[in-house]
Structure 1
């Protein structure tokens, strides 16, 4: 069995579509968030490795769960120590491991509800952890959950071709494909045909609905720095969801360039600051 280190992708927090523990956040809050990110990245790399067997992946993820309980070394054990020191709820990290185990064993989703069920494990715990680190009111969770689900689905839509070709994993719900006359096999094409494009556009439109649900989230957050970061993430997600309604992720660039992202971030941060001052 390959070691967990052998399954690493080399990807880091600066390679993500959305900011992770940016310099906007208080240094005291960035450290535990980065510990959570390193844990999540290690587990994600295991689940997404293209050649490791399912049994090996599940064994490594089980070892990470033991690390959360205080056994051994590595990213999970380091996160466990951080959570213990700060009195943070370990449920969020365990939920993430449930999601990565599901990635190993589940390759298709029947409908939108099933996809949102996956997001409850894979995305919503991330936002909840960040809010807990900042001591925010848990009444903010529903808005955070909607935003985090939207971020996850945007990522799935952007990467739908690569996920299918490399892992035979499809997050696009089967009933959405069928409703537009598309097939799973269409994801292997170099460019999306009209049925698959219509499917992706419809899901992107539905994702904009999640972003509408979370539109007031930044204003609910007491911590000004976190509020600004959430406003930026929300603006970036809206832009990407709208792009996915017009662009083909199989053949066209959807990701923001650095200059584009910086411009959107500056606008969102300025609007957030103005709204808070008012």
Structure 2
């Protein structure tokens, strides 16, 4: 297909459609603009990489144009121009955006991940730059990066696990590591079934357990953040992720709903925010 710009790939998905808050009202208004610039850049690149019909070569060409625009060598992509400007205004590097593009470029050509370590390496580019960028916008210490990386990797793995059937059916993409599937006797083709067979269900449970381990690594993250509003949002995200992981332990994402409804997410967020506020005061 002939594609003029990334907008030909637009999914129509916005920040309110994500599983976890993006620049919510908890975040100070003065920090929302650069975070939203980063989100719109990421959303445009993600839509390119996830387009179900375009050839990999066409996707890679558009992602390359985003990369050269972000580094200032071209002016072809408005989302990259906006992010570059936001970074310049704050004196921030564009490195986190470039790392994201590396992940989306992989999505165009890599359909399988052999090991858990391979998947975490992918998260190093697809998820961890998001948290690092938000921390940089707030002027937080880079000592917070390790906990942020663990949380962001957990969020990515949770998304991959709950969407495992959809990713396989729509994109022939499997983020469940092949060694974990094999260890439980599951086959890739099982992802196309109406419900998870016992072997696949066991692999999904292991993915959820590994996500919980990452969440445990980041359990004290919110307490280390100086900005109180950002710390509250991180606590909310952590709470939502913990609940989603428990749902994955109990529900089959091939045949049951795992995602939170809006009201349920709101109630969980309010409870997590309250717990964090009380703990911080204590």
TM category (shorter chain) comes to: over 0.9
CA contact (8 A) 1:143 1:213 kept: yes
Alpha-carbon offset, residue 161 of structure 1 = 0.5
* Aligned equivalents of 1:227, 1:161: Cα separation in 2: 33
The runs of 5 or more residues in structure 2 that have no matched partner are none
Q: Is 1:97 matched with 2:101?
A: yes
Determine which of 237, 249, 271 is the counterpart of 1:267. 271
Cα distance in 2 for partners of 1:16, 1:268 equals 18
For structure 1, which runs of at least 5 residues remain unmatched after alignment? none
What is the aligned counterpart of 1:28 among 27, 30, 38?
30
Q: CA deviation at 1:230?
A: 0.2
Q: Distance in 1 between matches of 2:235 and 2:95?
A: 26
1:47 to 45, 49, 65: 49
Matched residue SS, 2:23:
coil
Normalized against structure 1, the TM-score is what?
0.99
**Corresponding residue for residue 110 of structure 1:** 114
State the distance in 2 between where 1:46 and 1:144 align.
26
Counterparts of residues 69-84 of structure 1 (less than 5 Å) = 69-70=71-72, 71-72=74-75, 73-84=77-88
2:7 corresponds in structure 1 to 5
1:190, 1:2 → 2: CA distance? 34
Pairing 1:1-278 to 2, within 5 Å after superposition = 1-3=2-4, 4-70=6-72, 71-72=74-75, 73-278=77-282
Cα displacement (A) at 1:276: 1.3
Mapped contact 1:69–1:77 kept (Cα < 8 A): no
Instruction: Provide the rounded CA distance (Å) in 2 between the counterparts of 1:276 and 1:67.
Output: 42
Deviations 1:97-146 (A, max 9, x none): 00000001111001110000000000000000000000000000000000
Give the drift of 1:2. Answer: 1.1
Q: Given the two structures, how large is their TM-score scaled by the length of structure 2?
A: 0.98
Between stretches 240-249 and 146-155, larger displacement belongs to 240-249
SS of 2:226's partner is: coil
Shift of 1:190: 1.3
- Partners in 2 of 1:257 and 1:168 — Cα distance? 27
Aligned residues: 278
Give 4+ residue runs of structure 1 displaced > 6 Å after superposition.
none
Give the CA deviation at 1:69.
Answer: 1.5
